[in-house]
Every structure is written in structure tokens, then in C-alpha cells.
Amino acid sequence: MDESACAGRYVDYSETAVAEECYTDTILFFHASWCPECRAFEKAIENGTVPKKAQILKVDYDSATDLRKKYEVTIQSTFVRVDTTGERVKLWSGYGQDKSVDAILENTR
């Protein structure tokens, strides 16, 4: 596989993105546009560096009710680490927490 294909990224959620095997760290970010915490996290992600082989996938909190139910997400600004099959590995609510890519990766290990 092309090495650049595994560059760290922040993109919208898709099942295809979750299944991309070159990513060893896949984190779903349950984001709501009306949420100040979510906007602060998004700014931190966009201004930070997502490391190689890591991806943060933005999930629309308001419309993704099936995903919220599947991963037991009860509040926006929640991050869920999943494996390549989409199974939940760890859930972390970032609400009121440090806004950084490092904090997201560290708290979802």
C-alpha cells in the first residue's frame, strides 16, 4: 500500500474509512455543530497533527442515532476507538477535558 495513504487524517465518518487496514488507530468523534466543546476539539484537531497511521472520523451526533446506540454514546464530544471491524475498543467523553490530539489519543488507548 502507498505509504502516504496512511498519513494521519481528520475526515468525515464512513464504514469504508473504518475498515482501512493501514490505520492502527481509528477514533470516532461524535460532533455536534451547536456544541462549543465539539467546536473547540475540532479546532484543536485541525490545528494539531494527527499522527501517521491514525485517523479521527467525524460523526454527526444529531443524525447518527444508530451509531450512538451501537457505541453507547450519550453526550456529544465523545470519542470512541474502534478496530477495523468497527467494534468498540474504548469510549472517552472529552467534555470538559483537555482539547488536543494527544489527549484524544491518550484517553482512548
pLDDT in tens, the chain (109 residues): 455 668 999 999 999 999 998 999 999 999 999 999 999 999 999 999 999 999 999 999 999 999 999 999 999 999 999 998 999 999 999 999 999 999 999 999 9
Put simply, whether the predicted model's pTM sits higher than 0.85 gets the answer yes
Candidates 42, 54, 65, 60; CA nearest to 17 is: 54
Domains of the chain: 3-107 (3.40.30.10)
Give me the residues paired with residue 57 across strands: 11, 28
pLDDT at 21: 86
**Alpha carbons 99 and 105: distance in angstroms, whole number:** 11
Residue-level pLDDT at 1 = 45
> Are 55 and 82 in contact, with CB atoms under 8 Å apart?
no
